[in-house]
Structure 1
Amino acid sequence: MQNPIALVMIAAYLVGTTLLGMVMMRRSRGGDDWAVADGKMGTLMIAVGIAGTRVGGAATYGVAGDVITGGIWSMWYSVNSFLALALVGVFYAVPYRRLGIQTVGEVFVHRFGSRRCQWLTSLCVQMEYLIVNIIEPYVIGRILTAMTGIPFGITVLASGLIIVTYTSMGGLWGSAATNLIHCVAILVGLGAVALIGLNHLGGWDQVVLSVDATIATTGQAATWWSVAGAGWLPVIGMFFAATMHTPAASVYCNFAAAGRDERTVKRAFLFGGLIAAPMPLLAGVIGIETLAKYGAEAQLASYQTLTRLALDINPWVGGMALAAVLAAVISSGGPILLSSATMFVRDWLPASKDWSQGRRLRAYRTTTIVYGMGAAVIAWLGPITSILDLLLFGFAMVVPPALAVTYSLYWKRTTEAGAFWGMMLGFVGGLTWYAFTHFVLPGQGEGIDPSYPTFFIPLIAIPLISLLTKEDGESKAAFFTKLNAVKADS
């Protein structure tokens, strides 16, 4: 067993936060309690809940690893984390709450009475959420295997079991309550490693000298320290993929519906963005320090050397930092797994709207268990290389429904045919682009992001097709009457 102090700290943290989520089971007595906290959450709980969804393994472990291998441009993820939540808070959270929806696909049921738009939206979003649900146990498993030597298959399945237990029992209340602890742990833990690591390595100037010596041998000297990396296309692509998809991230419908009133919801999303933004930045700094300490060795095993750096500095601080990374994983894995189960039941089982609260709760929990453990098996057996690249692909696939939702909410001339076929063309275009650039073009198509076709194709196709097709005037009038109503609690 390596570093028993750090291992005990991590075990205590995981057990403690999981038990807290389970204690919140008493607040999840029905389907609405479990999925949307029965509309009783305040600003702080929503803010930490949604901040956790933006962090996860990709924004900590993933950003640090990609900074090591590709340069500091990956730290743009920090800016995009704030912009993504601010975008939803200003333009989407209140409309979602007024419509009373729990999945983003339900926008199209209210707007057009369209099940096919709802199903296609769910397919796009579930593609991203499957990737997230795979990444989270993968990250926990890799860290635990590096620390204990236990085979990865065992640690990744155990990690999936932790997330499933925590989510299925605690529901949205459990996710928010534990995310309060997670957010504090992430900021304090990563901040401590970054500051103590800087001192451990002799200060910033020495860190820069060490990094320069390493990248000089890799051919990256001209691009590694550049905020644009090898060019602005990947940076812009990250913005499109990591930010523009967010309105269609169905988990934010859960949190929007959970707010006590409209003012609470809007403030919570802005506050959540401010909480989430520093986390990828701190992870990126740790990635720089990791490269400075281990040199070329860090380039060969970026994710494992992030673990080594924290533990080599000090076992107590290392334990706190690793617990923070695991906290980041659980903080996003729980709510997103919850939203995945909500979408499956509400979008793909239309009869569930007539079920009792108890029956719907059982369906949510059963789906959570099957979905979560299935994702853990894929994490164990699947070939995963760059976590951030995989997540950005998932983000890109959600951009078409995000644009369709935007047009449906803010352009009254949008038709059902325009929304559906615009989404379909964008989704297929993104899949085709990704497959072509990764499996046909030399160099795996680096710098050519699938978010470009998933953004520009529906951006043009939805209004064009809408202008060529007819709409239902009565359903449109009823939709906008409800959408534009000023609530007494706002």
Structure 2
Amino acid sequence: MTVSTPMMVTFTIYILGMVLIGFMAWRSTKNFDDYILGGRSLGSLVTALSAGASDMSGWLLMGLPGAIFLSGISESWIAIGLTIGAWLNWKIVAGRLRVQTEHHNNALTLPDFFSSRFEDNSKILRVISALVILVFFTIYCASGIVAGARLFESTFGMSYESALWAGAAATIIYTFVGGFLAVSWTDTVQASLMIFALILTPVIVIFAVGGLSDSLAVIEAKSVENINMLKGLDFVAIISLLGWGLGYFGQPHILARFMAADSHRSIRTARRIGMTWMILCLAGAVAVGFFGIAYFQNHPEQAAGVSENGERIFIELARILFNPWIAGILLSAILAAVMSTLSCQLLVCSSALTEDLYKNFLRKGASQRELVWVGRLMVLLVAVIAIALAANPENRVLGLVSYAWAGFGAAFGPVVLFAVCWKRTTRNGALAGMVVGAVTVLVWKQYAWLGLYEIIPGFLFASLAIVLFSLLGRAPSREAQARFSQADMEFHSK
């Protein structure tokens, strides 16, 4: 395959720009708090776009459009579920988590918050939650590396093995160097690039087919089922697709953005910005896959790439329909989606290893400088393991993401919700919810009972376990309840 010079130049400029931001953030990173949480200094715009970009990984431009292209509009139930779940997460969790983490020993990580919120002197909550993060995020990181490798493989004709390292290298560099601030600042740039690509591309595809009415006619002519929202879906299938929205309450990389906001008062504006961005991006991703059906139906001679792998639909449309310079910018949006999420996940894994395991069990007296450098080394370690997991070229992005998403949503989601909303939640309740949620996902995934997405039974059983074990045990101490009440009063203050 001949690699176009404009595309190579565009990618190179983009990657160098992200690395440069990483080195700029290096100068603002003075201690471990800065490296892991940016000193809680993010304003509304950066909080919103960073939360959105860290959420929408490679599946936004590859997995979701690919699913729509192969199965029709019925796959958009996922987007509907995600929109509802994200709005509820912003509305219920974001502001409360911001103030609760500050009142509970200025917690920097989710395991740190759980340990302080539930007065867990045994540290078992910290260990188990850190292990859940490491297991599921390593899988999640692998999905991002697969998406990046697919992009470099398709765009530059590289072997899959070489593309793995090429796709991950820049992300590893700026995360290693700049930490949370680098990740958040680059997320803002990447979110802007993603929304530009997802608005422009479907519009040009529709014009290339002959207009909206002609596009719909071609799609319907190929198969009327493509425009049927209920195609091949029963009640369980629809609930499973909507159930993706439950995952938001337990995603550590998204929750970290809420914790890093400069104030809980910034959250309301951030929610409006973030939800507008998200709705436009999801609508664009659905439109790329949907109207891509019409384009390749009219141009079957150009469909070799998408016939081999439907997840290449955005890549192929960008390369075919746009000037190479514009195509380079659009394809950089896929890299932006991959890099923004992968960098957040690497950083959360690093924080779990450094703050929750290394500092608490191996080096309690470690200096801030030592913790920053251990955090950087942990970024490298997790990245290498994720690359090894991604080595199988038959991996599919959406499948890997769905597994990790369900694991976090069921293990952490109910615990986070109860931790910020119910004063009576106890350590044993939180522990039971975490274990029941994670185990349910692992077991349900293997047996696929009822054809139901494993996050739904996992979330339900975890919630029941939290309530049951909390009510059966001794109530939290007066001090714990007082801290919760003070934080709650601050959240409701204007």
Pairwise same-fold verdict (TM > 0.5):
yes
Structure 2 match to 1:105: 111
- Residue in 2 aligned with 1:284? 286
Pair 1:139-2:162 in alignment: no
Match of 2:265 in 1: 263
How far has the Cα of 1:232 moved from its partner? 4.1
Stretch of structure 1 that moved more, 168-177 or 249-258: 249-258
- Distance in 1 separating the partners of 2:33 and 2:113: 18
The Cα of 1:472 is off from its aligned counterpart by: 4.1
- CA separation in 1, counterparts of 2:318 and 2:493? 47
Aligned to 2:234: 231
Alpha-carbon contact 1:22-1:166 (below 8 Å) kept:
yes
Query: Matched residues, percent identical?
Result: 20
Q: 1:172 is matched with which residue?
A: 180
What displacement does 1:382 show? 6.3
TM-score (norm 2): 0.88
SS of the aligned residue for 1:288 comes to helix
Q: Letter of the 2:38 partner, please give it.
A: A
Deviation at 1:333, TM superposition (A): 1.6
The 5 A counterparts of 1:46-57 are 46-57=47-58
Q: How many residue pairs end up in the alignment?
A: 475
Report deviation, 1:18: 2.5
Amino acid at match of 2:202: A
Q: 1:269 to 1:357 in 2, by over 3 A?
A: farther
Aligned residue number for residue 327 of structure 1: 336
> Which residue identity is paired with 2:338?
V
Query: Deviation at 1:435?
Result: 0.6
Q: Is the 8 A contact 2:65 2:285 kept in 1?
A: yes
In structure 1, runs of 5+ residues without a counterpart are none
Amino acid of the structure 2 residue aligned with 1:367:
M
- Counterpart in the other structure of 2:189: 181
After the TM superposition, which residues 386-465 of structure 1 pair with which residues of structure 2 at under 5 Å, given as runs? 387-398=397-408, 399-437=410-448, 447-465=451-469
The structure 2 residue matched to 1:124, chosen from 117, 121, 132, is: 132
Distance in 2 (alpha carbons) for counterparts of 1:341 and 1:270 = 30
CA 255–393 in structure 1, closer or farther in 2 if over 3 Å, else same: same
Which of 362, 365, 371 is the equivalent residue of 1:360?
371
Distance 1:198 1:246 in 2: 32
Q: Tell me the CA shift for residue 213 of structure 1.
A: 4.2
In the alignment, structure 1 residue 205 sits paired with structure 2 residue 213: yes
For the residues of structure 1 that align with 2:26 and 2:75, how far apart are their CA atoms?
38
Q: CA-atom RMSD, angstroms?
A: 2.5
Change in Cα spacing, 1:49 to 1:320, as seen in structure 2 (3 Å) is: same
* Deviation, structure 1 residue 468: 2.3
- Deviation digits for residues 322-350 of structure 1, max 9, x if unmatched? 11111111122212221221122222231
Relative to structure 1, the CA distance from residue 46 to residue 293 in structure 2 (aligned partners, 3 Å threshold; closer, same or farther) is: same
Distance 1:81 1:413 in 2: 29
- Of residues 310, 316, 341 in structure 1, which corresponds to 2:325? 316
Alignment partners' CA distance in 1, 2:211 and 2:457: 44
The offset of 1:13, in angstroms, is 1.6
Gaps of 5+ in 2: none
Cα distance, 1:126 vs. partner? 3.5
Measured against aligned partners, the alpha-carbon deviations of 1:432-471 in whole angstroms (never above 9, x if no partner) come to 111112xxx8xxx7x5211121122122222123222223
Q: In structure 2, do the counterparts of structure 1 residues 299 and 471 end up closer, same or farther at CA, with 3 Å as the change threshold? A: farther
| Cα separation, partners in 2 of 1:346 and 1:73, compared to 1, 3 Å | farther
Which amino acid in structure 2 is aligned with residue 341 of structure 1?
S
TM-score (ref. length: structure 1):
0.89
Q: Deviations over 1:378-430 (max 9, x none)?
A: 21236413x22321221211223211222233223333222212322222122
